[in-house]
Homo-oligomer: A and B are copies of this chain.
Amino acid sequence: MDRLTIEEVRLTPVLVADPPLLNTQGLHQPYTPRLVVEVRTAGGHSGVGETYGDTKYLAPARKLAERLPGRSVRDVNALLAMAGELPVSGTGLSDSVDVGGLRGVQTAEKLRLSVASAFEVACLDALGHALGEPVHALLGGRVRDTVEYAAYLFYRHARHPDDAGEPDDWGDALDAPGVVAQARLLAERYGFRSFKLKGGVLPPDEEVAAVRALAAEFPGSPLRLDPNGAWTVATSLRVADELRDVLEYLEDPTSGTEAMAAVAAETRVPLATNMCVTTRGEIPEAFTRGAVQVVLSDHHYWGGLRRTLELAAVCRTFGVGLAMHSNTHLGISLAAMTQVASVVPDLHHTCDTHYPWQSEDVLTARVPLASGRVRVSDAPGLGVALDRDALARLHRRWREDDGTHRDRDDAAAMRRLVPGWDAPAVPRW
C-alpha cells in the first residue's frame, strides 16, 4: 500500500439539463444521464472522470468500482484488463459487432471500454494530483497551448414539449436562417471559427441549403454536415457534389463500412466518422477499403486517454486523419478531451463539443471556451475541481427521476411532438 493506492471509488449518476436538440433518431430529452467517477488514494489525492450514465453502464461501473480499492492509480493497463472481464449480462450485448444507433455499433467490449474510460481518466487525474503534474505530462507532454473546437449546430426547438426541463435563450433553429442565427450566436459567445451541423433531420436539400447559408455567412470557415448515416449512397454522393466547394468533410453520410466505402470511392470530399469506426474491430476493413478519411475519436468509446493516443497512432500509420467526437458531456470530459488533444501531434481538424449546450456542470468553474479554444491546463491532473453542491443537486435529480430520463431515448422525446414516432430506418433519404 503506497500513497497511490486506491482507497475509495465513488460513483455518482446525474441527470443534466439538455436542450431540445434534433437528430435523425428524434429529440434530446430535457435531461440526460451521465456518470461521475471519483477515486481517492491512500495519499489523499482525488481524481475524477465521467462517462455515459445510462442504466446499462451503471452495473458494470459498480463492479469495476468494487474491484479497484487496493490497486494503484498508476495501473491504467491493469484497469483496462480488469474492465475487459466485466460482466455485461442483461444488456443484450455480445462480443460480436452489432448494428447500432447514434453511438455506432453496440458491443459488450465497447460498453466495457466506455465504462472504463471514466475510471482511466479519474486515475490519470489522481496520479497527476499526486505527482504535481498535468495529465498531458503523463501522456508525453502537450504540443500546443490551446485546443480548438467547432461550433456544434443543431436543428432545435426553443422549448421542450410541455415546457419541460430547463429553459434557455437560444431560440429555435428549424431552417437555414435559424441555423445561421444559431451559428452567429455561438460564434459571438465562444469565438468558434468552424461549424458542424447535425443533420439527418430535414430532407437533404434543406440541409444543403443550410450549409450553403453558413458558407455565405462565414466565408472560408471549415464546415461539416453530419446526418448520422441517414442517407443512401446516392444521396450522399449528391450532397457531397453539391457542397464540395465548402465542406471540410462530410460526416457519416451513410451507414456501415460498405456504404461509406462506396461513397468514398466516388467523391473527393473526405468522409469522417464516429459511427463506422468506434471499435478496434472495425478499423482494418474501414482503413484498408478507404471507407473513411477522418476518424472522430471519442475517448469514452475507446477506453480513455491512453487508448485514444493508440487510435491516433493507428490513424497516423494508415494516413487517416484524426479529430474528436462529442456527445453530451460535462466539463470533466471537456478537460480530458483537451488534455489528450493537446498531445496528439497531428490533430487534423477542430474537435467537436456539445459543451455550450450544457448549461449545468459539476465543476466549481466552467471550462472556459474563448476564440473557439480551450487553454490546455498545466495544473496538476485535469485542472478541474468538483462542485459538490452541484453534483449533489444533479444526483438528486437522477435519484428522484421516475425512470423517464435515466436512459437516453430520443425517440420517446420525439413522440411527444410527433405521436407514434419511431426512429426511422436508415437510409431514410
Contacts and interface: CB of A to CB of B under 8 A. Distances in A.
Interface of A is mostly: helix
Interface in A295-333: 306, 309-311, 313-314, 316-319
A289 to B, nearest CB: 10
A417 interface: no
Contacts of A75: 140-142
A400 B23 CA distance: 74
Contacts of A164: none
A142 B345 CA distance: 25
Given A284-B317, A313-B313, A143 B81 contact: yes
Interface stretch (A58-66, A130-138, A153-161, A232-240): A130-138
- The quantity of this chain's copies bound in the complex is 2
Given A138-B138, A140-B306, A310-B309, A316 B77 contact: no
A65 to B, nearest CB: 18
A99 interface: no
Contacts of A81: 143, 345
Interface range on chain A (Cβ under 8 Å from partner): 20 to 34
Contacts of A140: 74-77, 306
Nearest to A316: B280
Nearest to A132: B131
A283 B315 CA distance: 12
Contacts of A78: 141, 143
Contact of A141 (B74, B137, B309, B317): B74
A143 B82 CA distance: 11
Given A77-B343, A314-B317, 7 more contacts: A74-B137, A75-B140, A76-B140, A77-B141, A77-B143, A131-B131, A284-B319
| A-B interface, 4 closest residue pairs, ranked by CB to CB distance from nearest | A310-B313, A75-B141, A74-B137, A76-B140
16 contacts: A74-B141, A75-B140, A75-B142, A77-B140, A77-B141, A77-B143, A77-B343, A78-B141, A78-B143, A81-B143, A138-B138, A140-B306, A280-B317, A283-B317, A284-B317, A314-B317
